[in-house]
Structure 1
Amino acid sequence: MSDSLPPDDLDHLLAPLPTTTDAALRSALLRATQRRISRTRWVRRAGKVAAIAAVFVVGVGVGVLRTPPEREKVVVTREVETIVAAIPVVVPVMISATEPPPVPPPTLTAARLELDAEQADGAAAATLYRRAGDTYLATEQDYANAARCYRLFLTRGGDTALSPESDDSWLLASLKNAAFKEKIHATTDG
């Protein structure tokens, strides 16, 4: 292509406009643009707030309109009848010129015996632990607590508690046997 083209009739329309160096015009144009932009922002914000308020008002309106009318309240009163009945009760009263019969001592539970053993010292504690173990085993069939009490009996009773007796329970005899073997092996190995 060549550099010289014939002039076009529309070149003056497509050419850039001549720039004006008028400062007053530029500042007026800048202020008008800034006002337009800020007005557009405020209009958008106001529109959003109005939309939120409209949704809230519609929600309140629906809630008010959908609320069922208040139901009729019915108060039921009952009359209470009081009936008084006399029931004779026989109360035995012992009148005796002699002493009252002796009250048997309360039977101690295994837990109570164990608590008493914890508060006692020496041989009394060992005896109470053995009674607690016997009670746990015989009446409650609680093998874990019975074994614990028997071990405490053997610990508090010393060497005399390790000797087998005819009234030992199977669990106590087994624990005595194990403790005796442990003692024998401890003295021969050392």
Structure 2
Amino acid sequence: MTDDELDALLTPKEQPPDNGRREAIFAKTLPHLRPWRFRRLAWPAVFAAGLAVGWFAKPTPPAERIVETVIEKEFVPVPQSPGEQLVQRPPDRLELDAEMATDPATSAKLFQQAGDAYLKANKLESAIRCYRQYLGDAGPDGQAVRVEDSWLLTSLKNSKRKDGDHANDGL
């Protein structure tokens, strides 16, 4: 085939306009074209309706309840005998007085007060040293855990009691 033959095949042929045929095709396709006009608007309409329903159906948050509690501190004086009143002295002075005391009960009491003062001052090594001296001077009555003991003294008493229990196991 030559180019001239291909041109003849590929060139559109002019046909006379046929209005009847054209109208028949339009009449057949018209019912199929009309719904598409509304379908283009259907998706945005459905989206808008869903948005509106979601907006108006959202739950309202519950009203906040404000609860106010008032805590009043009431100081209750603790009665102490004159001999038990703590003298406000620095812990190093209490420790020195405990070392110079001749009575073991007084020495033990002063070592405990010095240990408590060191613990309040956050000097743990000094507090442990004073509490160990207290446990040495207090005797068997001072080994029992009491309510007024500090956490560190209670821990030292418990560890000393456990050490004593394990020492007796070997006999």
Superposition TM-score, scaled by structure 1 size:
0.43
Greater relative contact order (Cα < 8 A, sep 6+): 2
Superposition TM-score, scaled by structure 2 size:
0.48
